[in-house]
Amino acid sequence: MKSITSFFILLLLLSCKSSDKPTTTSNNIPSSELKQTVEYLSSDELLGREAGSDGIEKAAVYLEKQMKANGVQPYFKTYRDTFEFQDTRAAQAGETPKTINAFNVVGVVEGSDPKLKKEYILLGAHYDHIGLGKVVEGDSIANGANDNAAGTSAVLALANHFANAKSNKRSLIFALFSSEEKGLLGSKHLAEKLKEENVNLYAMVNFEMIGVPMKDREYEAYLTGFEASNMAEKMNEYAGSNLLGFLPKAKEYQLFMRSDNYPFYEQFKLPAQTISTFDFTNYDYYHHVDDEAELMDYEHMANLITKMIPVIEKMSNTPTQDIKLYEN
């Protein structure tokens, strides 16, 4: 009887000990998390998130709070990477140009490997939009749900995941850019700053307009600059599926040069490319007041971002930098 009692006591102690262990972080990004971010960023309260506005200030505060709450550390002394630019509209109207203060929101999750953590992968998206647009049925607020609250929600969700999972050997920078709509100004500023600091950047992955799925494609998203590197090939290998493909329209419209990936390519001459699902046929509200949160497909977004987790994890953990530019 004593031995049986001792056995059950041992089981109880083991059970209590195992319950003290941290739970394994889920690799599934919940669609509700993405929806919450997109709904707030594209709400009328933020008035279209134009750079320099009260609305984008509210957006930045929201993003900072989310990063802090999930243990994503500021990359600089604070989350804000500040810069200035001149408001060209004033000059065009014959007025004195006005200086606009703007800021990227930048966090980091340090890598776990003593050597590899000195190398960085940057995941980015722009969180600004155009502010007010052409009035349609009394509505003038260009909410920017797909462009680019959707991409912002992806970067924020990935930052939150990796801050908790701690599964990256290389360090991960999570950059949310302002003033993309003014000419990629936020990403230009950060790319130049990181280059001046001699940051060992491995690759840059940008998320742009991923809120609606493509139709009748053999892949789930496309990669701009598809032919410039082996990024799509390696990401598909890491994902174990045909995740990313080539969209001819992206090449035709030179999308590789028109989003926040490009300044990093210019400064570092490394793989810096954008993931998108906007294919010119599946969404009618680019820079339109009807680019609203209710039109986003959050299950599609959650599926895509969840599939990116093992891709980013593998990128951060390979002994060598296997994603490379092709020679011209």
What is the phi/psi pair of residue 179, to 5°? Answer: 65, 25
| Mean per-residue pLDDT, 144-160 | 98
Q: Note the pLDDT tens digit of each residue in 108-132.
A: 999 999 999 999 999 999 999 999 9
How large is the average pLDDT for residues 70-84?
A: 98
Residue whose structure tokens are 């998206």: 125
Res. 26 pLDDT band, cuts 50 70 90: low
Work out the mean pLDDT of the chain and round it to a whole number: 92
CA distance linking residue 161 with residue 152, whole number of Å: 14
User: Which residues partner with 31 through β-bridges?
Assistant: none
Q: Which domains does the chain show, CATH number per domain?
A: 26-317 (3.40.630.10)
CA distance 3 to 86: 81
pLDDT at 12 over 80: no
* Own/partner pairs, 63-69, CB within 8 angstroms, 24+ separation: 63/105, 63/127, 63/152, 63/156, 63/176, 64/105, 66/37, 66/156, 66/160, 67/105, 67/107, 67/156, 67/159, 67/160, 67/174
Q: Is the pLDDT of residue 309 over 90?
A: yes
Contact assessment for residue 221 and residue 275, using Cβ atoms and an 8 Å cutoff: yes
Q: Give the pLDDT confidence of 251-261 residue by residue, as tens digits.
A: 999 999 999 99
Q: Tokens 């394994």 label which residue?
A: 24
Residue 200 has pLDDT above 50, yes or no: yes
Could you tell me which of 200, 153, 203 has the C-alpha nearest to residue 315? 203
Residue 280: pLDDT band (50, 70, 90) is very high
